[in-house]
Amino acid sequence: MNKTIKIYIVFLVLIFIAIIFVDANRPRPIDWRPTYSINDKIPFGLYIFDKETPTLLKKNSLKKVTNTIYEYFEPLYNYDSLVNNYSERGTILSISEYSQIDDQSTQELLYFVSHGNSAYLSSKSFSKILMDSLKFETNNEMIFNKEIKFSLVNKKLDTKKYNFDIGAGSYYFGKIDTLTTTILGYQESGNNKYANFIKVPHGNGFFYLHTQPAAFTNYHILKENHSEYLEKIVSYIPKGKIFWAIDNINGESVSSSPMRFILSNPALKWAWYLFLIGMVFFMIFNAKRKQRIVPIVKPLQNTTVDFTKTIGNLYYQEGDHQNIINKKIIYFLERVRNEFLIETNTLDENFIKKLHLKTGKNIEDIENVVRLINYQRRSYNQSIEDDLIEINNAIEKIFS
């Protein structure tokens, strides 16, 4: 290793150490992205809610569904005419910034609820299929006040108004079917008051729809008395089994890349990138050649095969099949003499036995070749193309 390369390596190592030291001591910026992921400890993740579910939902059993709603629940339906129901019953829970439930899963969700089950969905928006089926609409009002107050209708349950600031959306239920829909909660901004929590019957079950998913996030669970509001709204979840749909909704699919851990850590990620950049520079500066380019010497071209093909095509185009047959026979006998050291003056039974023993070929094929050669030698008729093909195929069998 020469001196220049050693200097480059020491220089890169010093850069890595300096970057790691600076990165380790600088204040971490707050990530305000609304991921709604159970793995995120950032303000708008669901890490704390996930850990507190045994307390918040203590009278329920919780199961996390890592498939789409359709993929999980469709196989659970028993199509027997005497059953026509799902083998599992309970409530589907979904918490997300904006609903990402696909149309097929939405249809399955409606079917599941209609069979006496429930769905609890907290999102700022809902799919058109769901809104059309349950006869409601959501609106989005521009809010200039910094705070929005949340309250519940049931005064026996709670009479407080909770001031939500960061993360609270301006979505609300602008249109509902007042004959069937029950309003469970409101949000107030200034002099405006809108429904943000409703209960809608569907078939033999119920939908619980909430437009403020921020109430479930780490930030609001830890802020003032907002956890009380969360306790009240989750108390509406029917007792029983809860299926928490997290995959394809909250982005909980974990990358299978072996670099996942390194790329998830900012310090390791930048160290990895700098390592790659350093390797590129190393290869560029160390790419000079150590010797002259060795010229490529092309081997002499073997034109024997091309010459043979040309002559063969010439004979074939002239239609002189007898001449080609004679040359095929000469070539065959010459090869037998050279490779197997067998006399070819007399093509009799003794010749057939010797050729059979030395080649291991089928004796019927050897007898056929000898028969065709003797026939061509005795024949005075002009050979046709079929004769040429026949003797060529017979010879090919011996030397294949």
Residue whose tokens read 């696909």: 102
CB within 8 Å of 20: residues ≥ 6 apart: 267, 271
Q: Which amino acid is at 290?
A: K
Q: Which amino acid is at 106?
A: T
Residue 290 pLDDT class (50, 70, 90 cuts): low
pLDDT at 259: 66
DSSP state, residue 216: G
Residue 41 has pLDDT above 80, yes or no: yes
Measure the CA–CA gap between 117 and 240, rounded to whole angstroms: 10
Residue 181 has pLDDT above 60, yes or no: yes
DSSP state, residue 238: P
pLDDT at 300: 72
CA of residue 234 relative to chain centroid, distance: 35
Residue 255 has pLDDT above 50, yes or no: no
Residue 183 pLDDT class (50, 70, 90 cuts): very high
Residue 120 has pLDDT above 90, yes or no: yes
Measure the CA–CA gap between 281 and 289, rounded to whole angstroms: 16
CA dist list (Å): 242 to 2, 88, 92, 237, 250? 66, 10, 6, 9, 17
| Average pLDDT, integer, range 368-395 | 80
Instruction: Please tell us whether the domain made up of 47-245 is placed in CATH 3.40.50.
Output: yes
User: Is residue 242 within 8 Å of 57, Cβ to Cβ?
Assistant: yes
Residue 298 has pLDDT above 90, yes or no: no
Neighbours of 129 (CB within 10 A): 17
Calculate the average pLDDT of the chain. Answer: 85
CA dist list (Å): 152 to 137, 168, 194, 235, 366? 20, 16, 12, 12, 101
Residue 159 pLDDT class (50, 70, 90 cuts): confident
Tokens at 196, concatenated = 């943000």
Residue whose tokens read 């850069």: 15
CA dist list (Å): 377 to 360, 370, 373, 382? 26, 11, 6, 12
pLDDT at 385: 75
Out of 4-13, 98-107, 128-137, 187-196, the most confident range is 128-137
pLDDT at 144: 54
pLDDT at 170: 87
Measure the CA–CA gap between 325 and 315, rounded to whole angstroms: 11
- Start-end of CATH 3.40.50 domains in the chain: 47-245
* Of 36-45, 100-109, 329-338, the least confident: 329-338
Give which of 341, 335, 311 is closest to 323, Cα–Cα. Answer: 311
| Average pLDDT, integer, range 354-383 | 84
CB within 8 Å of 28: residues ≥ 6 apart: none
Q: Against a cut of 0.85, is the pTM above it?
A: no
